[in-house]
Amino acid sequence: MREISYRQAIQEALWEEMGRDPEMLIFGEDIGLYGGAYAITKGMQEEFGPERVRDTPISEAGTVGIAAGASVVGARSVVEIMYIDFITLAMDQIVNQVAKMRYMFGGKVEVPLVLRTQGGAGRSSAAQHSQSLERWFLGVPGLKVVMPATPYDAKGLLKTAIRDSNPVIFIEHKLLYNTKGQVPSEEYTIPLGQAEVKKEGADLTIISYSRMLLYALEAANKLKEYGIDAEVLDLRSLQPLDRETLVASVKKTRCALVVEEGCKTGGVGAEISAILTENCFRGLKSPVRRVAGEDVPIPCSPVLEKAAIPSVDQIVRAALNSQKYQKQI
């Protein structure tokens, strides 16, 4: 199978879906002639025309509002919001309008809208360009949240998100764009809400998504040196969440560690921990542990930024502490 980058996988998904559906539109700042902040839409305006690949003013609220209107009258819309930090400027449109329109109109309208955005730290872009805000949207009924970690998942999940009749927030980590992986040339899609075990194991389940999934896999390899056989579960979709696969994995290993880049307080890990406590409590050999970003604005300093987000060594230490706890009881 051929090997391509995460960036190429996203590009292919957009090009193929634009070719498949003549009613599909793409909106965003600098996505036309410039090709987008991360060159995802490079060449698309020349191929599909400025009517379908539209540069928009610096107004996230206006852009999302226009795309929402286009979606409810029949166009499949994809909006690129340059950084997830800027999604705050469109929160009313996303949370009060896009997420609720299908419900409030009794299902008589659909909202096939994908909000593509970039999240996460690692480029010393400072506090206003480096956040992981996915947890904000988990409690908003009507929204779906997808965060793929590999090129294969990125392409398959984006194609599914575009074809969905409901709004999807599709978050791509900035530091994943140059990572590579195997992606088939043939047409394929991946269902939303379907987690995947990336590595089988028996002693501990490490649960993660997006860039931290790569850290989790690296940590699992290091844990072999300590005689710990870790299973690694990639959530892929945070909403809908594949509770069945999540619970089944933890019931097998009886030990869980959740890893996320976002702040620990009120994070995705807190929700996962609650689900596991409700469904696996009697079988757990140790408390569910969390490794997450510090509750601080992301620093610009590379050294401080590195200290503010999880590392492979932190994951390894948390796993070892979990196993140590088991031996003490």
* 329 CB-near residues (< 8 Å, 6+ apart): 285, 286
**Structure pTM?**
0.96
Other residues' Cβ atoms within 10 Å of the Cβ of residue 205: 26
Query: Hey, which residues are catalytic here?
Result: 60, 129
pLDDT exceeds cutoff 80 at 325: no
Residue 328 is predicted with a pLDDT of 54
Report how far residue 190's alpha carbon sits from residue 198's, in angstroms, rounded to the nearest whole number: 15
| Mean of per-residue pLDDT scores for the chain | 96
Report how far residue 92's alpha carbon sits from residue 168's, in angstroms, rounded to the nearest whole number: 16
Residue 252 is predicted with a pLDDT of 97
Report helix, strand or coil for 179. Answer: coil
Tokens of 269: 């890990």
DSSP string, 181-244: EE--SS-----TT--EEEE--SSEEEEE-THHHHHHHHHHHHHGGGT--EEEEE--EEES--HH
Report how far residue 94's alpha carbon sits from residue 92's, in angstroms, rounded to the nearest whole number: 5
Report how far residue 68's alpha carbon sits from residue 123's, in angstroms, rounded to the nearest whole number: 31
Percent of the chain with pLDDT over 90: 97
Other residues' Cβ atoms within 10 Å of the Cβ of residue 300: 14
Mean pLDDT of 83-93: 96
- Each residue of 136-168: pLDDT tens digit? 999 999 999 999 999 999 999 999 999 999 999
- Each residue of 182-204: pLDDT tens digit? 999 999 999 999 999 999 999 99
- Name all domains of the chain by residue range, CATH numbers in brackets: 3-182 (3.40.50.970), 196-328 (3.40.50.920)
- Each residue of 222-277: pLDDT tens digit? 999 999 999 999 999 999 999 999 999 999 999 999 999 999 999 999 999 999 99
pLDDT exceeds cutoff 50 at 329: no
Report how far residue 228's alpha carbon sits from residue 215's, in angstroms, rounded to the nearest whole number: 16
Residue 114 is predicted with a pLDDT of 98
pLDDT exceeds cutoff 70 at 326: no
Residue 1 is predicted with a pLDDT of 85
- Each residue of 209-236: pLDDT tens digit? 999 999 999 999 999 999 999 999 999 9
Residue 322 is predicted with a pLDDT of 84
pLDDT band at 323 (very low <50, low <70, confident <90, very high): confident
